[in-house]
Structure 1
Amino acid sequence: MKAIVQDVYGTADVLALRDIARPVVRDGEVLVSVRAAGVEQGVWHLMTGLPYLVRLFGYGLKKPKVSVRGREVAGVVESVGAGVTRFKAGDEVFGTSEGSFAEYVCAKEGRLARKPRNLPFEGAAAAAISGVTAL
C-alpha cells in the first residue's frame, strides 16, 4: 500500500510517498480503508520533532518511532479484530489513529465513531482533532 512516511525529523521535505506493508488488524482494532486524512498542528510537531520535549514523550529521541504521519482519519471499515462489537466491514467511520496518511490504518475501536451520512469524508477527517480544537 502507499503511505506518506518519514525516516528523520525535519520539514515537509523529509516526507516521501512509499510502498509499505498493509497493517494487520489486532484484537480490539478496526482496519480502515482511508478516504480522507486531516492535517492538524500535532502532525507538524511530530514531523519536525519540535519542541524537543515531544521527543521525550515517547515519539523517538533521534528519529520518529512511527514512520507514517497523520492522526485524523475518515474511511470505510475493511475488517475488524477480535472483540470489536461496534463496527463491521462496510461501515463509514471517522476518528483518530496514528498513521492516517496511508491507504489503510488500524485504529482502536474506541477511537472511532460512525460518520454521519450527510458529512463528507473530508469534513469528517478534520473533525476529530481540528474541529474540536476550533470549538
Structure 2
Amino acid sequence: MSRLRCGEVPVPQVAADEVLVRVHAASVHPDVWHVVTGRPAVLRLMGSGVRAPKEHVPGSDFAGVVTAVGDDVRAVSVGDDVFGESLPSMQWVNGATWAEYVAVQQERLLPMPTGLSHVEACTLPTAGIIALQSVRDNAKVAAGDHVLVNGAAGGVGSLAVQIARADGATVTAVDGPEKQDLLRTIGADHVIDHTRVDFTRGDDRYDAVIDIPGNHPFAAIRRVLAPGGKYVLVGHDQYGREGRAVLGSIPRMFGLMARSAVSDQIPKASFSSRPKLEYLRELADLASAGRLRPVIDRTFPLEDAAAALEHLASGTARGRVVLVVTR
C-alpha cells in the first residue's frame, strides 16, 4: 500500500440529481483492496484501470451529513444524516468516498438507520447488499431452514448470519478459533472452528450453504446439502494468498454458472439484480428494528488509510474496519 497517499482534492460540485455529503466514516472492505492493489489482474480490464485506477480516490461506502443538494433532489435535505454507496453498479472502480466530501446521486443513499452511528452505518452497503443477494435472492432462505455460513465473521458473513436469523433460519457459523465468541454474539445457533472440524464431513444437512471464502470444492459441499438445498459462492481470494493473481475466482464462478444449468442446488446465473436502493432500504429496516448490527473491529483516521488496508488484508480483523474522516 506504499503508493497510497493522503492529499488535497477539490470539493466536488453537485449535479441537479446529486447530494454533497460531508463524509464522517467510510468502510474499508475487500473490493477497495482489489482496486487499490490491482489484484487479481483481470479486474484492471473490467473497469478499474489498466495501469492505475481511473478515479484516484478509493472507497465506495460512506456515512455522513448532507451539506448541499442539487435542484432536483427531494429525498434528503441539508443537515440530514445519510448513508449509502457511491457506485451505481460494479465494485471494480474507486468511488471517491475516502475523502472529506463526496457527491452522490440521490438514489445511492438513504437517511441513516435508527440507532446506528456513522461508523456502523458506513459498513452496511457493499457487504450488506452481497449478504442480502446471497441469503434472500439466491438461497431464498425461509423460516425453519437450516443455513450454514462459511467465513461467518467477515463483513459479508456476519451480516448473512444476522439476516438469515432475522428470516427465521437456524444458522451454523464457521470461522477460526479466535472468532468463535463473535459468532455467538451475532446470533449464530451453532458454531464450528474450521481448524478443528471440516463441516463438509459432518452428519448435518443444510437447506443453504453461503460460502464466503470458497475453500471447499462444490463436490464436498454437496455432501452436506439437503435435497433441494442451495449452494451460494461469494468467493474471496484471501487478498492474493490463494495464488489466483491473474483471474481470481472468475474461472470457478463461470464453472458454477455452467453447472447451474443442470443442478438445482446452484442458483441459476443472472447478470441483473434489484435496484441498490431497494437493498439499502431492507438493510436500514433490519438495522432500525434491531435485527442487524455491524460489528466494528477497529477505526483508523483518514490519513492512515494505507495502514487500514494492511490491517484488513492481514485477516485478523474481528468485524469491520472503518476510516473516520470527520470527527
TM bucket normalised to smaller: 0.7 to 0.9
SS in 2 for 1:18: coil
1:109 aligned partner: 106
CA distance, structure 1, for counterparts of residue 10 and residue 46 of structure 2: 26
Separation (CA, whole Å) in 1 of partners of 2:123 and 2:101? 17
Q: From 47, 55, 62, give the equivalent of 2:44.
A: 55
- Per-residue deviation, 1:61: 1.0
How do 1:69-80 and structure 2 match up within 5 A?
Answer: 69-80=58-69
Task: Show structure 1 runs of 4+ deviating over 4 A.
Answer: none
Deviation at 1:116, TM superposition (A): 2.0
Unpaired segments of 5 or more residues in structure 1? 1-11
Q: Which amino acid aligns with 1:13?
A: S
* CA displacement at 1:81 relative to structure 2: 1.2
The aligned counterpart of 2:122 is 125
- In structure 1, the residue matched to 2:96 is 99
TM-score (norm 2): 0.37
1:70 deviation in Å? 0.8
Amino acid at match of 1:106: A
- Structure 2: distance between partners of 1:41 and 1:28: 29
Aligned mates of 1:57, 1:78 — CA distance in 2: 33
* Match in the other structure for 1:9: none
Q: Identity, % of aligned pairs?
A: 39
Matched, 1:35 2:24: yes
- Any idea what the Cα deviations from partners look like across 1:22-69, whole Å, max 9, x if unmatched? 111112111000000001110001101111221112221111100001
- Which structure ranks higher in relative contact order (CA pairs < 8 Å, sequence separation ≥ 6)? 1
Higher helix share: 2
Instruction: State the SS of the aligned residue for 2:64.
Output: strand
Q: Deviations over 1:2-39 (max 9, x none)?
A: xxxxxxxxxx2111110111111112111000000001
Report which of the two has the higher share of strand: 1
| Mapped partners of 1:30, 1:14: distance in 2 | 30
Aligned length, in residue pairs:
124
Paired with 1:82 and 1:52, the residues of 2 have a C-alpha distance of 41
Superposition RMSD in Å: 1.1
State the 1:130 CA deviation: 2.6
CA distance in 1, matches of 2:106, 2:45: 27
Give the letter for the 2:106 counterpart.
Answer: E
Describe the SS at the equivalent of 2:124. helix
Structure 1 residue identity aligned to 2:115: N
Kindly name which structure, 1 or 2, has the bigger radius of gyration based on alpha carbons: 2
